């Protein structure tokens, strides 16, 4: 690079001209790639709407009368109950655990670290299948176990006592997978809140619980509301739980209902598109609300130093909190995995385990014999690898390169963050409709999955890259420039090594999300381009339960191995970081 002068022809160049003058081939490539990704979001939505406009009109009519007019209100009501119920459960569990971990002597230790990762370690699809095999009213392993325990007492049932295929089951399991969102947001808010404000309340004569209600909760209220909205948004797009449980329970929620509209014959494009757009609008409204609240929330944040105040002594309640945390991990990971393991080792799903016939045949079938599962595994892994690499390279290079240019970084951030505002169901619908017609007729190929995954996981990548860049003090880069390093040398020798652990963590996160992805996989994958998510759903529908269980276990092992690696990488930072 030219290190002497950058002369401008005119006296007062406009900001735009200045930006173009400072454009290097490197930043030009970055902008081009981001523009392409941005296009990948906008193009399918617009194409779907424009091409199927007459269908939209028809769809509006069909929703007003006919069979849909009767079923859609029920679907909407179900969705409302599942999402709001799940969010409430998550809010209670998530914020209680966050408070206990940040402010009480019931520090959760490693559980506290794993909690926000629960949904990554055990992909929701695996977890929910695990619960289905545990609490199926007839064949559920746990139900069977409980019945056996109760029989000697003279209490006997043929089914139950629990039934996962109910509204309650749907709500609780949905809630379990929203907990990490709440926990993360509330934890962060509590970390920002200077414990001194709570100590001041204690010194002023309020007991711990009064302090909690009068000081702590009001101070983090914006974050509570924000996390509730986040829960609603993620609950609306959650596909795995209703896809697995909704069928047995005969309860349809929106995301699965839309999928059905497109997978029945004849497909009902209009109503699907109208409902998807409604979902999109709802989420946009919620996001705007969340944005406003978080802004206010940040201005209400007090202090910023990470110091630890005295912790509230919970006494015997400590064990209650610890039990709650343990129970959560049990519910999201241990029990469902146990269920999956037991079913996967049997030739058939039977509630009573015959220890003599345990077999690894299912794993052999899934991993070696069955063409579909083998190619699904290979496809998913390969896609995960490519998607994670592309997204992390793009977002990593962008964030680190534009570190000194806040305006460029904001623009890049809003481009890469855009897909986060679009429910995956909507992405699925738009991709199907837009990419099954010219000029880009790629429906049924691996390419469409690749594009969809790139779009869907881009926000995760961007967030990880931002977090990695933000931990590097600005002065570290400036010191490099002062020491005569060009921009690219600074990027290569200073910023990249320092950001690497964060970038690797981001790569793993994207990889894991891609491998365990369900929604887009359901919409876009088929016999020609199978991926794990789609195959799991199909096998479940066809009743190949032992194979489903072993496949679910396999992706759990893949996920948790990678998450373990991620923890290792992020833990192994330089002994003490400077500035």
Partner 1 sequence: MTVATTRSIISGEAGAQTAPRVQVRNLSKIYRTRRGEHVALDNVSIDIGAGEFVVLLGPSGCGKTTLLRCIAGLEEPDGGEIHINGKLVYSSSAGISVPPEGRALNMVFQSYALWPHMSVVDNVAYPLRNARASTSEARARAAETLELVGLGAFTAAYPGQLSGGQQQRVALARSIVSNDGLVLFDEPLSNLDAKVRDRLRVELLNLQSRIGFSAVYVTHDQMEALALADRVAVMDVGRIAQIGSARDIYDRPTSRYVADFVGSANEIAGRIVSSSEGVAIETPMGRLSGVAGSDRLAEGAKAIAMVRPEHCILASPGSAASGNQVEGVVERSLYLGPVVQHFIMVGEQQLTVSVSGGEGLQPGSRVAIGFAADRTRIFAA
Instruction: Work out whether 572 is an interface residue with partner 1 (CB under 8 A).
Output: no
- DSSP assignment string, 81-121: HHHHHHHHHHHHHHHHHHHHHHHBS---THHHHHGGGHHHH
Q: Which of 184, 188, 479, 567 binds partner 1 (CB under 8 A)?
A: 479
19 binds partner 1 (CB under 8 A): no
Q: Residue 175 and residue 84: Cα distance in Å, rounded?
A: 9
Q: Is residue 10 involved in binding partner 1 (CB under 8 A)?
A: yes
Residues near 70 by beta carbon (within 8 Å), at least 6 away in sequence = none
- Residues in Cβ contact with 354 at an 8 Å cutoff, skipping those fewer than 6 apart: 346
Q: Does 576 bind partner 1 (CB under 8 A)?
A: yes
Q: Tokens 């309860």 appear where?
A: 251
Candidate list 4, 14, 65, 299; residue touching partner 1; CB under 8 A? 4
Least Å distance between CB 488 and partner 1? 11
Q: What are the structure tokens assigned to 453, written together?
A: 């995954």
Of positions 9, 266, 316, 439, contacts partner 1 by CB under 8 A? 9
Closer Cβ to partner 1, 148 or 577, answer by number: 577
Task: From 8-16, 175-183, 285-293, 356-364, give the range in contact with partner 1 by CB under 8 A.
Answer: 8-16
Would you count residue 489 as binding partner 1 (CB under 8 A)? yes
Q: Is 486 in the site for partner 1 (CB under 8 A)?
A: yes
Retrieve residue 400's tokens: 């680190």
The answer to the question of residue 473 lying near partner 1 (CB under 8 A) is yes
Helix, strand, or coil here: 190?
helix
6 part of the interface to partner 1, by CB under 8 A: yes
**Per CB under 8 A, which region of 43-51, 71-79, 231-239, 477-485 contacts partner 1?**
477-485
371 binds partner 1 (CB under 8 A): no
Binding track over 303-342 against partner 1, x by CB under 8 A: ----------------------------------------
Q: Cβ of 413: how many Cβ atoms within 10 Å?
A: 20
Name the residue nearer to partner 1 (CB basis): 21 or 210.
21
DSSP, collapsed to helix, strand or coil, labels residue 312 as strand
Q: Answer yes or no whether residue 3 interacts with partner 1 by CB under 8 A.
A: yes
Count the residues of the shown chain that bind partner 1, applying the rule CB under 8 A: 33
Count H helices, E strands: the chain?
Answer: 28, 0
Which of 135, 249, 366, 494 is the binder for partner 1 (CB under 8 A)? 494
Tell which phi-psi region holds residue 205, choosing left (phi > 0), alpha (psi between -120 and 50) or beta: left
Candidates 162-170, 384-392, 438-446, 492-500: pick the segment binding partner 1 (CB under 8 A).
492-500
Calculate the alpha carbon distances from 12 to 16, 17, 388 in Å. 11, 10, 43
Instruction: Say if residues 336 and 126 touch (Cβ distance below 8 Å).
Output: yes
Segment (H or E) for 511: helix 496-515
| Positions that interact with partner 1 (CB under 8 A) | 3-11, 13, 473, 475-476, 478-486, 489, 493-494, 497-498, 574-579
């Amino acid at each position: 690079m030219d290190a002497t002068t950058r002369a401008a022809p005119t006296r007062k160049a406009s900001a735009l001209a200045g930006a173009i003058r400072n454009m290097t081939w490197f930043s030009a490539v970055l902008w081009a790639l981001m523009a392409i990704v941005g296009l990948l979001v906008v193009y399918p939505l617009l194409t779907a709407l424009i091409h199927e406009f007459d269908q939209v009109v028809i769809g509006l009519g069909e929703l007003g009368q006919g069979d849909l007019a009767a079923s859609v209100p029920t679907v909407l009501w179900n969705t409302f109950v599942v999402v709001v119920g799940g969010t409430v459960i998550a809010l209670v569990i998530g914020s209680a655990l966050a408070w206990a971990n940040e402010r009480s002597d019931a520090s959760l230790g490693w559980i506290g670290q794993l909690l926000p990762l629960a949904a990554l370690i055990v992909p929701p699809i695996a977890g929910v299948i695990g619960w289905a095999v545990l609490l199926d009213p007839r064949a559920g392993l746990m139900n069977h176990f409980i019945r056996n325990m109760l029989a000697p007492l003279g209490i006997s049932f043929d089914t139950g006592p629990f039934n996962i295929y109910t509204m309650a089951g749907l709500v609780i399991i949905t809630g379990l997978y929203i907990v990490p969102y709440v926990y993360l947001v509330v934890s962060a808010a509590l970390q920002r809140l200077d414990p001194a404000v709570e100590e001041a309340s204690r010194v002023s004569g309020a007991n711990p619980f009064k302090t909690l209600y009068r000081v702590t909760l009001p101070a983090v209220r914006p974050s509570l509301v924000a996390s509730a909205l986040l829960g609603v948004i993620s609950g609306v797009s959650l596909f795995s739980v209703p896809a697995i449980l909704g069928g047995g329970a005969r309860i349809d929620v929106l995301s699965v209902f839309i999928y059905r509209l497109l997978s029945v014959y004849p497909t009902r494009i209009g109503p699907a598109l109208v409902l998807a757009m409604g979902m999109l609008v709802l989420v946009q409204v919620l996001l705007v609300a969340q944005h406003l609240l978080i802004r206010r929330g940040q201005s209400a944040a007090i202090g910023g130093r990470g110091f630890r105040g005295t912790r509230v002594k919970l006494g015997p309640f400590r064990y209650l909190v610890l039990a709650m945390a343990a129970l959560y991990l049990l519910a999201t990971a241990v029990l469902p995995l146990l269920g999956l393991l037991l079913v996967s080792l049997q030739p058939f799903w039977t509630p009573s385990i015959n220890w003599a016939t345990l077999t690894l045949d299912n794993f052999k079938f899934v991993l070696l014999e069955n063409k579909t599962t083998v190619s699904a595994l290979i496809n998913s892994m390969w896609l995960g690898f490519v998607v994670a690499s592309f997204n992390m390279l793009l977002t990593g290079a962008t964030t680190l390169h534009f570190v000194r240019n806040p305006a460029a970084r904001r623009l890049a951030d809003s481009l890469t963050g855009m897909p986060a505002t679009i429910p995956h169901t909507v992405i699925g619908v738009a991709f199907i409709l837009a990419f099954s017609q010219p000029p880009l007729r790629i429906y049924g190929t691996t390419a469409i999955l690749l594009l969809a995954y790139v779009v869907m996981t881009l926000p995760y990548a961007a967030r990880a890259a931002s977090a990695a860049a933000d931990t590097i003090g600005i002065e570290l880069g400036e010191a490099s420039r002062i020491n005569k390093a060009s921009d690219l040398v600074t990027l290569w020798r200073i910023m990249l090594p320092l950001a690497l652990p964060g970038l690797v963590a981001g790569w793993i996160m994207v990889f894991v999300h891609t491998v365990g992805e369900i929604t887009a996989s359901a919409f876009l994958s088929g016999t020609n381009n199978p991926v794990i998510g789609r195959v799991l759903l199909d096998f479940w529908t066809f009743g190949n339960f032992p194979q489903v269980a072993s496949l679910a276990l396999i992706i759990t092992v893949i996920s948790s191995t990678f998450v373990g690696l991620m923890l290792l990488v992020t833990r192994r930072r330089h002994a003490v970081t400077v500035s």
